[in-house]
Every structure is written in structure tokens, then in C-alpha cells.
A and B are shown apart, each in its own frame.
Chain A
């Protein structure tokens, strides 16, 4: 349709096709890698040694190991707790509350708070990990300013409360994204609707719960979709802070996948873990996309 009217395009079709070629090759590689991940999960491919060359098909053995050996199910549970508390309870709820609270305040305060929480979001993962390891160490900020002045012995938080510490670090790091999204969403809610509810005698809580939230429902679904996927597969922060430890307390699926694939060298089993992760992420996306589409 459009290209019939544009002679400079129709006369250069081969050239334009050629220009698309590199992108098609790279995208093709990505699709190919995805298919490969599925293929590898049925093999006993290893990182080093004989099985890195002479691997063989093992059928569903890797997937059986997911459920029969210790490790996967524990990691899945750790991941669910991590995602629930850091992404859904932490980043989403806190981001929404911040966006709501900052609507009524002066623009200076708003800018200051925004810049502060953006710093966490912008900081490279490894710097954030280093910062939080230091903050929660025995001589760190929390011990020096709170625990010791109150007369307690310094606590080594990262050892004794590893999962809560990484959860808080991730809330600190990621809230800005949810905040920005909800902030934009609240701007799209028309003032008249909220005012009308106010005149009808709705309390602030009712106005938020019954009026604002249903309107911004698509934004909530979008936010959930992205932060759940990101947090579910998030690797650097936890890995750099704890390496999955102590023991396996903070070994989320991403860390488990790394440890199995590149520390233990079981690339076949690692691929089975990544396939399981892709399937879970896919299922979660479908649920949120349904939520996005169907109006209540």
C-alpha cells in the first residue's frame, strides 16, 4: 500500500533487503539460541571433560532431576519468596505509595525524592551489591548508627539474615521503576472522577481502592509483568552479595542455574533449569497479559 506510492523505496527493494540482513541474522541467532536451550536440556553436555565433546541424549533425565534431587524446588521456593517480597510487596506497593504521596507535595521535594530513589536504579548492580554488603556488615552503617548505640552487639546481617538483606537491597534498587510507571499512570487519572467520588462522600482510602486502582489496572498489570520477570531472573545483585549462601539460603533460580552450569559444569542440567525458568516466565506473562486485556 504505502510502498506503491514511494518510488525511492520500490526501486531499491534489493538494497533495503540487504540492509535488513544483519539484523535478521542476529535475531535469527537469538531464536536459534532459544531453540538450542531446549535441545541441550535433553543432553548430558558438560562444561569441561569428555562430555563437553561426546555428549549424548538422555531423554527427560534432567527434568526428572529437577524434581527428584534436592536443589531446584528449594531454589524455586526461595525465588518465589524473593519475588513476592522484593518485587510485589516492596517495589510495587512502595512505588505506588510514593507516587500517590508525592502528588500533593511541592515540586522541590518531589524532585529530591525522585533523584534519591533514581540513584538506586541507576547504580550498576555490582556497585549496589558492594554498597549493601558494606552497609550491612559488622562495622557498617546499620550497626554503627542503630544497633551499637542502642547497646546491642554488632550483628553480621549478611550472614544471619541473608534473604531479608538481599530483598531489601533489591527494593532499594528497583523501586524507582515502579514509582515512575505509577506516577505516569496517576497523571492519566482525570481529576473530575476523583472529585466526584469525593463529593459523594468517599474516604481517601475508598477513593484510591475503588476509583483510582480500577482505572490504572492496565498499568498495574504492565508493572507486574515487567518487575516479576526481571526479579524472577535477576542475577548480579544476589550473586555478588552472597553467591547464593550462606548454605543455600539465597540461591534463587538464576544463581542455581549459574552454579550448576558454570561451577559444577553441568550444562545439560543447567539448560533444563533455564527451560523451566522460561516456561514459568511464559506462564506468568500469559496471566498478566490476560489481566491486561480483560476489563472488569
Chain B
């Protein structure tokens, strides 16, 4: 099909129309978020202001933003640290049972988290971990199979010759790992960290059953609790809150998109 022919033009129009439909739900979100007198209706705002955003980052809402940040950064950092420590030996050692362990990871990666929800809740309740630390640990546990498999794959691509050369020059294991292996897979580690961060940032179910008080809610639960209320709903505030909540998750992807190529292809023999 040559570009510019009639069917191709109809197709392009159709696709453009579909893209428009796809983003149309956002119209409501933005008109309400920037309208200080928003009523929840779809209407052109009479006045435009940032009051909604101001209230979406202060008070309880601001606290919930910090909670989300803490949970997401904590989960990502914990699972990446634990993952790196285990991925290097897994990548370099031929220990008996290694393949069985890797297959277990693949299976666990497929395990739906809702299937182990009750035992996780029960364990956290017994351990006095129905709080943010508990959420971080639980999410790190659920996230670890994925992190570990990806990090091992990154480490596999680092040529062993580099490590040999460093060893010949008298580097210790610690120096080899911190000066060669980690810097060379930096981009990959960043990708894994951001993936884990976004996953934990979006997480709703675990914080929902783990958090008892409004001050401990992350933004997902806070937003749910606010729009689940019947009666007087402050739509302007909720719309602004939604945008503040969604922005990091969306932004990280576009950050990641450029990093992705270096992450998966750039780890090479360039050294």
C-alpha cells in the first residue's frame, strides 16, 4: 500500500479518531482539576486556577503522597538490593539445584498475588506488620522473582574477561562487583528499580488490607476512600489528586523508554 492512497488515508483518519476516543476520558479530568469551582460535570471551566493542586499536595493528601513515595522507593530499593546480592552468585556459580531454583522463580513470577493474599495478611497480623513496613516487605517478596530473574540476565551479559582482568590486577571480589559488575549493568538496574517503583506506586490491594488509619494510606487507597464516599465529593480536588498521583507512574515510563535501549542493548563488550 503506497502512502497517500485512498484506503491508507481512510485508515489514518480512523486511527487518529481512535486515538482521540482513547484520550477523551482525560478531558473531564483536566477541566475539573484546573477549575476551582468544579462540580464533577463535563464543562468548560469558568475560571482557571491551581487551588485544587495546592490542596492535593497539602495536609492529608500531601502525607499520602509521601506514604506512596516511601512504599514505592522502599519496595524498589529493598528488592533491587536483595536481588543484586543473589543475582551475581546465581549468574556466576554452577551450584547444584540452580536450574530448579530458576524454574521456581519463573513459576512464582506467574503466581497471582491474590492467591497468597490471606496467608500474607495472616503472617503480617501475627508479626505486628500491618503497617507500611509490612507493605514494603510483602511487596518486595512478591516482586523479588521478577527482579532476580531480570538482574541475573543482565549480569549474564557482562563478559567474564573483564572480571578476570581485574582479578589479575589484584581486585578483590567486592571491588570486582562494585567497580565492574554494578557500573556495567547500571542502566539495567535502573530499569528494574523503576519497574518495581511503578508497580509498588500503583499497588492498591495490599495497602488496602494493611493500612488501618487514613494518615497511613498511600495515594491509591486515599483516592479510593475519597471517591467511595457518598454525598459531597470535591471533584476538583479528586481530579487534581489523580493527576498528581498518576504523573510519576506515567513520567517514569517516558524516562524509561530512552533508558530501556541502553538497559537491554548497551551492556556489552565496550568496556
A interface residues, Cβ below 8 angstroms from B:
1-3, 6-9, 11-13, 15-17, 19-20, 22-24, 26-27, 29-34, 36-37, 40, 45, 98, 101-102, 104-106, 109, 112-113, 116-120, 122-127, 129-135, 137, 139-141, 144-145, 172, 229, 232-233, 235-236, 240, 254, 257-258, 261-262, 267, 270-271, 274-275, 277-278, 281, 285
A27 to B16, CA, bound (A): 46
Interface string of B140-169 (1 = CB under 8 A from A): 111011001000000000001001100100
A130 to B167, CA, bound (A): 56
A235 CB to nearest chain B CB (Å): 5
- 11 A-B pairs within 8 Å (CB atoms) are namely A26-B140, A33-B120, A36-B123, A113-B19, A119-B26, A126-B204, A129-B224, A240-B224, A257-B114, A261-B118, A277-B114
**CB contact between B15 and one of A22, A34, A101, A131 (< 8 Å): that residue:** A101
A33 touches B112 (CB 8 A): no
Q: Which residues of A contact B114 (CB under 8 A)?
A: 233, 235, 254, 257-258, 274, 277
Interface string of B27-62 (1 = CB under 8 A from A): 111000000000011100000000000000000000
Give the contact-size bracket for chain B.
35 or more
A140 touches B28 (CB 8 A): yes
Q: Give chain A's interface secondary structure class.
A: helix
Find the A residue at minimum CB distance from B164. A6
**CB contact between A23 and one of B23, B86, B209 (< 8 Å): that residue:** B86
B220 touches A126 (CB 8 A): yes
B interface residues, Cβ below 8 angstroms from A:
1, 3, 8, 11-12, 14-16, 18-19, 22-29, 40-42, 82-83, 85-86, 88-90, 92-94, 101, 104-105, 108, 110-123, 140-142, 144-145, 148, 160, 163-164, 167, 171-173, 176, 201-202, 204-205, 209, 219-220, 223-224, 227-228, 235, 238, 242, 245-246, 249-250, 253
A22 touches B86 (CB 8 A): yes
B22 touches A278 (CB 8 A): no
A132 to B22, CA, bound (A): 12
With A126-B204, A132-B25 given, is the CB distance from A105 to B246 under 8 Å?
A: no
Question: How many residue pairs between the two chains, A and B, have CB atoms under 8 Å in the bound complex?
Answer: 246
Q: Which residues of B contact A116 (CB under 8 A)?
A: 19, 22-23
A30 touches B42 (CB 8 A): no
Q: Which residues of B contact A232 (CB under 8 A)?
A: 112
B184 CB to nearest chain A CB (Å): 16
**CB contact between A274 and one of B85, B104, B115, B142 (< 8 Å): that residue:** B115
**CB contact between B173 and one of A8, A127, A130, A131 (< 8 Å): that residue:** A8
Find the B residue at minimum CB distance from A144. B42
